[in-house]
Amino acid sequence: MTRKSLVAGNWKMNGSQAANAELVDGILAAAGQARAEMVVCPPPVYLESVGRRLADSAVGLGAQNLCEQEQPGAYTGEIHGTMLTDLGCRYVIVGHSERRALYAEDDARVAHKFATAQACGLIPILCVGETLEQREADATENVLSRQLAAVLDRSGIAAFNNTVIAYEPVWAIGTGLTASPEQAQTVHAFLRGQLAAADATIANSTRLLYGGSVKPDNAKALFACPDIDGGLIGGASLKAAEFIAIAAAGTDH
C-alpha cells in the first residue's frame, strides 16, 4: 500500500483573525499545487473561524494540544478532545517538544494524551525527538525508543493503524538547523523498525513526518527519502507561499 504524503502546519501561538483569514485564503488559492495532504493547526481560539474558512476544502484542521482527561469536567483552562472534533478537527499534535520542555509533559502524560485523542476520534500526530545534548551523547535511539515505548505500552501497536509520528530533533526546531536528509532518513528507518518489531504491516502503513526548519528549499530532498512521508512545519507554515511550496514537494511512498 502507498503512504500518502502529509504536510501539517503548526502555527503555534501565532495569528489573529485578520492574519489567519489572509493565510488560509492564500493556502486555498494555491492548494491545487500541493502533492501532499495538507492540515493546519491554529491556536485553539481560532479553530472555529479557521475551520469555517476551510469548510469543504481539501485542507484539514488539527489542534496543537488536548487535555488527557477521559471525561470533560472541572479542569479549568483545558480543552477536551470531543470539543476539538466538535469544531471539525481531524488531527491533534501530541507531545510537541515545546510542550514536553515548557509545560512538563513527560512520557506518561504524552501517552495518556495520545490514548485520549484516539478515544475521542482524533488522529494523533505524535512528536518524538532528541535534544542536541542527547544526540551528542549518542543517545538518540534510546530517547526515541523510550518516547515511543511509552505510547506503545499504553495503547498497543494497533493504535498506530491510525497515527502519524513526527520526528522532530529538538535542535532543529525554529533554529534554522535542519537534519540532513541522510540523518533524518536514518532516524525514520529506525522508528519504522521499532514499529515493525511489533507489526510489520502497521509499520509499513504509518506515516512518519520530519519536522525541524523545513523550508521550500530543503523539503524536496527530505521528502524524497523512502521513510519520510511529509513534514510538520512551524515557521514556514505561517506564509502561504512557503507552506504551499513545501506541500508541492510531497512524495508518496
Per CB under 6 A, residues contacting ligand PEP are 10, 168, 173-174, 211-214, 232-236
Nearer residue to ligand PEP within complex by CB, 79 or 214: 214
Q: How far is the CB of 243 from ligand PEP (least distance, A)?
A: 11
Nearer residue to ligand PEP within complex by CB, 81 or 235: 235
DSSP per-residue string spanning 185-202:
HHHHHHHHHHHHTT-HHH
Q: Are 66 and 92 in contact (CB under 8 A)?
A: yes
Distance CA 208, CA 79 (A): 26
Q: How far is the CB of 55 from ligand PEP (least distance, A)?
A: 25
Q: Is 96 a catalytic residue?
A: yes
Distances (CA, A) of 122 to 12, 99, 198: 19, 19, 23
Q: How far is the CB of 72 from ligand PEP (least distance, A)?
A: 27
Q: Which of 98, 168, 188, 242 is catalytic?
A: 168
Nearer residue to ligand PEP within complex by CB, 174 or 226: 174
Q: Are 20 and 46 in contact (CB under 8 A)?
A: yes
Q: Which of 37, 68, 80, 96 is catalytic?
A: 96
Q: Are 246 and 37 in contact (CB under 8 A)?
A: no
Catalytic residues: 96, 168
